[in-house]
Amino acid sequence: LPSPARPTGSHPLQAFKYYFAPLFELPPGTLAGLEGPLIKAALAFSVGTFAAWRIHRRGRRMVAILVLSSMMAVFCLLAFESLGVCEEILSSRQFGKVLSRHFKPGDRAIVVGDFETANSLNFYAPLLLEVYQGKAAVLEWGLRFSDTPSSIVSTRDLQMSWKSSQRVFLLCPNDRVSTLPVARSYVVLRSGGRTLLCNQPL
């Protein structure tokens, strides 16, 4: 798990090892937004199971099953609502949409941290995502082939690309922006504890 001492509002550099690990690192604002769906889910579960039990006791088994099915449908809708609340933190959709509008052939897209922390960018924008100060565990086997494009960026490579005429996009946790070894940068988007930077004005 990432360190719990990470500053509030920042984004993890490493991929989570466990599916429910992000729940323990959500910012206070996001947790507050989950209160509504949580209360609704608890009410739906309580009322649904109790009603199904009472109806079943009266011998109306099919009706009880329909009540439970309705309860599960409501629960699924509330789970979807909860994902919407957490989307800014767990997803890279907002950055992918921006890149899909501005990214052109010849540009570079680099993420600070593990590849898995921003791999959904590829779903929204057709680009080769490179990694700086991180790993790409899901790509490890493919990276061993000699004809595989280089996906791990060194500090020297980042600095040289940033100063060149080539346009470079860099996705970085907010608390790491000031420590980046690059010259002047332009903010494209800030969202969910991350900042999308570019070495050229758009």
Give residue-wise pLDDT tens across range 24-46.
Answer: 667 778 888 889 999 999 999 99
Name residues whose C-beta falls within 8 Å of residue 111's C-beta, 6 or more positions apart in sequence. Answer: 117, 118, 121, 129, 130, 131, 132, 134, 170, 171, 172
| β-sheet bridge partners, residue 173 | 194
Ranges of the chain with pLDDT below 70: 1-25, 138, 140-141, 143-144, 147-149
**Can you give the pLDDT at residue 75?**
92
Q: Are 113 and 177 in contact (CB under 8 A)?
A: no
Number of residues assigned to the chain: 202
pTM for the predicted model, two decimal places: 0.70
Q: Which residues contact 167 (CB under 8 A, 6 or more apart)?
A: 104, 106, 107, 108, 198, 199, 200
What's the rounded Cα separation, in Å, for the pair 61 and 199? Answer: 65
How far is it, in rounded angstroms, from Cα 151 to Cα 132?
A: 9
Domain boundaries, the chain: 34-90, 93-198
Q: Helix or strand or coil: residue 60?
A: coil
pLDDT at 169: 95
